[in-house]
Chain A
Amino acid sequence: MGQNEPVPSLLLIEDDDAIRTALELSLTRQGHRVATAASGEDGLKLLREQRPDLIVLDVMLPGIDGFEVCRRIRRTDQLPIILLTARSDDIDVVVGLESGADDYVVKPVQGRVLDARIRAVLRRGERESNDAASFGSLVIDRAAMTVTKNGEDLQLTPTELRLLLELSRRPGQALSRQQLLRLVWEHDYLGDSRLVDACVQRLRAKVEDVPSSPTLIRTVRGVGYRLDPPQ
């Protein structure tokens, strides 16, 4: 990270005082600007006032829970969300990913891991090259980091955008879930393949004509996913 880069601002929504304080301390030391909220309602209010770059969201919250907060944010906003789940219970992870989260970290979370995830998520929005590609009615402008379908702008989260970019860079070539986890999420070899599946589902909902019978992002059984060039 260069010196002239702006310090990323985070919003941490966590109800437990000790965890909030400790994580704030840890993340601040890692070089982030951290705003905190103790409930989902407070968090949503703060989100409107401050426009952070990323949200770290606890799942178990009094009042409206983390999933609901996540869904409400996604209705209007595509900014990255990392979930803190107290349980690695599968249902939590699945519900969290379905409600639009970009990544998740299981408690007890190590500050360094969380920091690495935050940086990986933030990097997804960075520009890399200056060309454009089109797949049928879908046009990916890598310079402007925008995707249009039939001339209309698509609202993609940085993760969805990065996934689409990685797939579009190798059209017609199948990428395994583990490969995608490394490329998009920058996870180590133990990445959770459900992250990929959930993100592909969300991406299909936005770019496919009929999301239930995809023609662009195809599933390759036993391997992973492939972006098909238009016929």
Chain B
Amino acid sequence: MTDEQGGIRGWAAVRKGMLSGLRWTSLRLRLVVVFGLVALTAAVSASAIAYWLNREAVLTRTQDAVLRDFEQEMQNRAGALPEHPGRDELQHTAGQMAAGGQQFTVLLVAQDRDGRTVYGSSGGLNGFSIEDVPASLRAAVNKKQPLTAGNRSPYHLYWQRTVDDGTPYLVAGTRVIGGGPTGYMLKSLEPEAKDLNSLAWSLGIATGLALIGSALLAQAAATTVLKPVHRLGVAARRLGEGKLDTRLRVSGTDELADLSRTFNNAAAALEKRVADMAARDEASRRFVADMSHELRTPLTAITAVTEVLEEELEFEGGGIDPMIEPAVRLVVSETRRLNDLVENLMEVTRFDAGTARLVLDDVDVADQITACIDARAWLDAVDLDAERGIHARLDPRRLDVILANLIGNALKHGGSPVRVSVREDDDAVVIAVRDHGPGIPEDVLPHVFDRFYKASASRPRSEGSGLGLSIALENAHIHGGEITAANSPEGGAVFTLRLPKDASEVARRDAEEAAEQAGGAAKGKGA
């Protein structure tokens, strides 16, 4: 069982290997076709020439021998016949003539004393009759040639090759000079034809073998070229996927090796470039993180003290000089703003560094929204359309950050009433925050989530940190969710938050990635 499986798997592997080897990349196809054409032309022309030369040689030799024999017999035997032989005499002579070594059939034609035409055949070959002799040959044989200096006899020996029933024959005929019977002979050329046929077969097979050999050679040639090209292609793809440490093994000194070397240099340069940029990016990110961190310590002290000042302000009949009261209020409110800004900066750096994590809990979405609005005393300004009972597993603190930013933004720019609606959509919770303001200009729309984006330089400085919507978006992303901004057809801007109902999967994957990175970093440090 296992053996069989192994066998099947082995076969599948072999087939796969072959398929990949035979993949008809156009270069491979072209090479095979060209090789094949060259081999075919060479083999076919060589075979054709060899066949024709052989054929002529074989046929001519047989023919010459037969005709010489026939001529001899005609002179010796037919010439010895009386001028008007009888049928039997003809038959006998024909038989004698055919008894020679060449195995041809003889037909003698003569006029008897009464002027009738008599035939004498040696028999065999299904009876060789005068009808078997082509008319043109008969005419040529019986035609009397004028005697000239170059032609000393009135009759000549003529021959012709015919095919009857697929068997080739040599037919020849001549007249005994000086009056006598006309003799025809028929000789089967079948043995020669068979020889030539087998020769043709062998040449055909040789041609086929040459074709196969050329195809294999072409494959081999293509492979030697295409393998490095393929490797280069794979390496380039890996490089494109961001595996910048991809390098090729350089072997040999040919053009392909040169190309590999160039590729390696390019990859090394790219890797260094990217590493430099990443390092610079990391450095600036770390700077922001460190900076906001460093700001925190003095801010903590200042915050604690400003609260003391604030209480002092609220204290009836306060102990603070009315002259400096505005100054104290300013310090208190600006400290709070500075706190928010630093808090947001820290949040942003955590997202940038990828250290932000979800702390999941099961919450009722409507309750969370109510609590968020309530905690910020927005109940009068917000119109909530949400039914209790929509539960989701998410990070309540982050949901609060998103909601506070979206609703706060709507209140600031759109004005009340702000309408917040919640609905379920498959595995997601969709929360829409709509204001009744002028909406967002089209050219600003793509930038609303940008950090510190200001619609125009002349716009008054807003109270927010300029990071709110960006942080909201990051918080949605970490849940595997999304926020989109648009203008409602009825006027006003609509921010639509879409969060998965269960973010556990996202959180788990995130944690795994973080663990992996930490492991990698530790390994890197250890090395």
Asked if A222 meets B393 with Cβ closer than 8 Å, knowing A108-B339, A189-B371, the reply is yes
Contact of A111 among B304, B361, B367, B371 (CB under 8 A): B304
* Chain B residues with CB under 8 A of A107: 296-297, 299-300
Contact across chains for A110 and B355 when beta carbons are under 8 A apart: no
Q: Which of B308, B342, B355, B375 has the most CB of A within 10 A?
A: B308
Chain A residues contacting B357 (CB-CB under 8 Å) are 90
Q: Is the CB of A109 within 8 A of B300?
A: yes
User: Which residues in window 146-196 of A have CB below 8 A to B?
Assistant: 176-178, 188-190, 192-194
Residue on B nearest A109 in the bound complex, by CB: B300
The reply on B305 being an interface residue by CB < 8 A is yes
Q: B524: CB under 8 A from chain A? A: no
Measured CB to CB, the nearest residue on chain B to A15 is: B297
Contact at B308–A111, with CB atoms within 8 Å? yes
B302 at the interface (CB under 8 A from A): yes
Cross-chain pair count, CB within 8 angstroms: 95
- Assess the A108–B303 pair: CB atoms within 8 A: yes
Point out the residues of chain B lying under 8 angstroms from A178, CB to CB: 361, 363, 396
Q: Mark contacts of A122-155 with chain B using CB atoms, 8 A cut-off: 1 yes-contact digit, 0 otherwise.
A: 0000000000000000000000000000000000
Q: Contact at B362–A189, with CB atoms within 8 Å?
A: no
Q: Bound complex: CA of A16 vs CA of B293, how far in Å? A: 14
User: In residues 350-376 of chain B, which contact A (Cβ within 8 Å)?
Assistant: 350, 355, 357, 359-363, 367-368, 371-372, 375
Closest CB-CB distance, A41 to chain B, in whole Å? 21
The answer to whether B359 and A192 have CB atoms under 8 Å apart is yes
Q: Is the CB of A26 within 8 A of B305?
A: yes
A189 contacts B396, C-beta separation under 8 Å: yes
The docked-state distance in angstroms from the alpha carbon of A22 to that of B309 is 11
Question: Is B156 an interface residue when CB atoms closer than 8 A count as contact?
Answer: no
A90 CB contacts on chain B under 8 angstroms: 355, 357, 359
**Is B334 interfacial (CB-CB < 8 Å)?**
no
Bound form: Cα–Cα A190–B346 in Å: 19
Q: Within 8 Å of chain A (Cβ to Cβ): is B150?
A: no
In this assembly, does B191 line the interface, its C-beta being within 8 Å of a C-beta of chain A? no
Distance A87 CA – B290 CA, assembled complex (angstroms): 11
Inter-chain contact A22/B302, CB cutoff 8 Å: yes
Q: Is the CB of A192 within 8 A of B307?
A: no
A178 to B300, CA, bound (A): 28
Contacts of A89 in B (CB 8 A): 350, 355
- Knowing A26-B308, A189-B375, A223-B362 touch, does A87 contact B293 (C-beta < 8 A)? yes
Closest A-chain residue to B342, C-beta based? A108
- How far apart are the CA atoms of A86 and B343 in the complex, in Å? 11
Q: Does A75 contact B (CB under 8 A)?
A: no
Do A190 and B396 form a contact, CB below 8 Å, given A89-B350, A90-B357, A108-B342?
A: yes
Q: Which of A16, A25, A90, A177 has the most CB of B within 10 A?
A: A90
Nearest CB on A from B382, distance (A): 16
Q: Which residues on the B side are within 8 Å of A1 (C-beta)?
A: none
Per-residue B-contact encoding for A26-64, CB less than 8 Å = 1, 0 else? 100100000000000000000000000000000000000
In Å, the complex CA distance between A110 and B357 comes to: 24
Contact B375 A176 (CB under 8 A): no
Interface size of B by CB at 8 A reads 35
**Size category, A interface:** 20 to 34
- Contacting A at CB under 8 A, from B391-422, are 393, 396-397, 400
Is A210 close to B, CB under 8 A? no
Q: Contact at A19–B297, with CB atoms within 8 Å?
A: yes
Produce 1/0 per residue, A79-112, CB < 8 A to B.
0000000111110000000000000000111111
What distance in Å separates the Cβ of A19 from its nearest Cβ neighbour in chain B? 5
Q: What are the residues of chain A within 8 A of B297 when measuring CB–CB?
A: 16, 18-19, 86, 107
- Produce 1/0 per residue, B293-320, CB < 8 A to A: 1001111111111011001000000000
A222–B362 touching, CB < 8 Å:
yes
A13 to B270, CA, bound (A): 51
Contact B298 A18 (CB under 8 A): yes
User: In the complex, which residues of chain B have a beta carbon less than 8 angstroms from the beta carbon of A88?
Assistant: 346
Q: Check A190 against B400 for contact (C-beta < 8 Å).
A: yes
Residue of A nearest to B336 (CB): A110
* A23 surroundings in chain B (CB, below 8 A): 300-301, 304
Q: How far is the CB of A26 from chain B (nearest CB, A)?
A: 4
Taking the nearest CB of chain A, how far is it from the CB of B313, in angstroms?
13
Which residues on B sit within 8 Å (CB–CB) of A112? 307
- Shortest Cβ distance from B361 into chain A, in angstroms? 4
CA distance A23 to B302 in the complex (A): 10
Give complex CA distance A7, B362 in Å.
Answer: 39
CB neighbours (8 Å) of B396 from chain A are 178, 189-190, 193
Supply 11 A–B pairs (Cβ within 8 Å), ascending by A: A22-B304, A26-B304, A89-B355, A110-B307, A188-B375, A189-B371, A189-B400, A190-B371, A192-B359, A193-B360, A222-B393
**B: which residues have CB within 8 A of A?**
293, 296-305, 307-308, 311, 339, 342-343, 346, 350, 355, 357, 359-363, 367-368, 371-372, 375, 393, 396-397, 400
Can you name 20 extra interface pairs (CB under 8 A) apart from A25-B308, A189-B371? A19-B304, A22-B305, A23-B300, A26-B304, A88-B346, A89-B350, A90-B355, A90-B357, A108-B339, A110-B303, A111-B303, A112-B307, A176-B362, A188-B371, A189-B368, A189-B396, A190-B371, A190-B400, A192-B359, A223-B362
Closest 9 CB pairs of A and B: A18-B301, A22-B304, A189-B371, A108-B300, A22-B301, A193-B361, A108-B299, A26-B304, A111-B307
